[in-house]
Copies of this chain bind each other. A is one copy, B any other.
């Protein structure tokens, strides 16, 4: 049997802190018994919770951490207060020291990103990390990145995102050669910003063996699941993610109001309540919880801060999967390969871009 997956947990992260972390870990351990945990945090709070979960406790080491990063700490504050001594830092550091294969935190995203960067550094070939997550679509799920780890991206970074996203899709969605789309404002090749157009040219020119490049996609292709992977820089990706979440909440509210509006609609709701339950489950953000920080020299998973035990369990399961399928090595290999392949092509694509920009300018 393979070695157990060793997962370090920030015991204090998230809106609900240790109770959700321990409950989620216990659930994940039931589903994936070949796991071992390191939980960092306030021993006085966590030990009693752990005592109620004997199976989990038998496979967990609890390590006291004096500081908990707050959900509203700015990244710089979190680093000042929490470097080396916070549960978040210590969970990440366990990955760096090789004591854990992956770290999970439901703590604040900015702080987690900053600490992960400072503690783990980026991979040799990647200049900036990215946050990737599963996006529910009408076809199933897609990997979308970057959801806000880095702001702005040049063409090279967008291509790296495509490579890393495809590696993740292969593991998490089990697709041999995932299709990849580049988020843009129109499918015509003349639209969009220079970096996106240049990345499109590279991806079209360089035939990367492990992904199938689809071309540009637009915002509505996210929910339609047009491609298995959607690539964009972090500012746009974060706004798209939150816009979709907001729209889902808005429609859920419309639906509640409509169903409570009259006696007839209430009776209708009763008859259709199983259908509504199925719909709620489909729209349940806990089903797909767990953003993966990619491009760092170590694996860190971000769980939603407001999630419950079930949602936290989902994040731990993603952590398990990316370790079991060795996402790190796969990304390292594929990024190297793709960078070798495109070195020459990139130069000619860049030259083409300049020529094309000049001709676009001349047209209007």
* Residues of chain A whose beta carbon lies under 8 Å from any beta carbon of chain B: 72, 74-76, 79, 110, 114, 117-118, 136-138, 148, 151-152, 183, 185-186, 188, 190-193, 218-224, 232, 234-236, 238-251, 253-255, 258-259, 261-262, 264-265, 267-276, 278-279, 282-283, 360, 363-364
Contacts and interface: CB of A to CB of B under 8 A. Distances in A.
Given A75-B364, A114-B364, A188-B110, A239 B261 contact: no
Nearest to A259: B275
A100 B204 CA distance: 46
Given A188-B110, A220-B245, A234-B185, A258 B276 contact: yes
Given A258-B279, A279-B255, A239 B219 contact: yes
17 contacts: A75-B364, A76-B360, A151-B185, A151-B192, A185-B234, A186-B238, A222-B243, A222-B247, A236-B236, A236-B239, A244-B244, A254-B282, A255-B255, A262-B275, A267-B271, A269-B272, A271-B271
B219 A250 contact: no
> Which of A117, A221, A243, A245 lies at the interface centre, i.e. has the most chain B CB atoms within 10 A of its CB?
A243
Given A218-B238, A265-B271, 9 more contacts: A118-B364, A138-B250, A192-B235, A219-B246, A223-B243, A247-B251, A251-B283, A259-B275, A261-B274
Nearest to A151: B193
Contacts of A282: 254, 258
A219 B248 contact: no
A259 B242 contact: no
B259 A265 contact: no
A262 to B, nearest CB: 7
A245 B268 contact: no
Contacts of A364: 75-76, 79, 114, 117-118
Contact of A272 (B151, B223, B264): B264
Contacts of A244: 219, 243-244, 246-247
**Prevailing SS type, chain A contact patch:** helix
A96 B116 CA distance: 57
B235 A220 contact: no
A118 B361 CA distance: 14
A294 to B, nearest CB: 18
Contact of A219 (B152, B238, B267): B238
Contacts of A188: 72, 74, 110
Contact of A246 (B190, B220, B262): B220
Contact of A265 (B152, B183, B248, B274): B274
A292 to B, nearest CB: 18
A216 B234 CA distance: 17
> Which of A110, A136, A151, A268 lies at the interface centre, i.e. has the most chain B CB atoms within 10 A of its CB?
A268
A238 B268 contact: no
Contacts of A264: 271-272, 274-275
A236 B185 CA distance: 8
Contacts of A76: 190, 360, 363-364
A218 B258 CA distance: 27
Contacts of A218: 238-239, 242
A271 to B, nearest CB: 3
B118 A183 contact: no
Contacts of A185: 148, 151, 234-235, 238-239
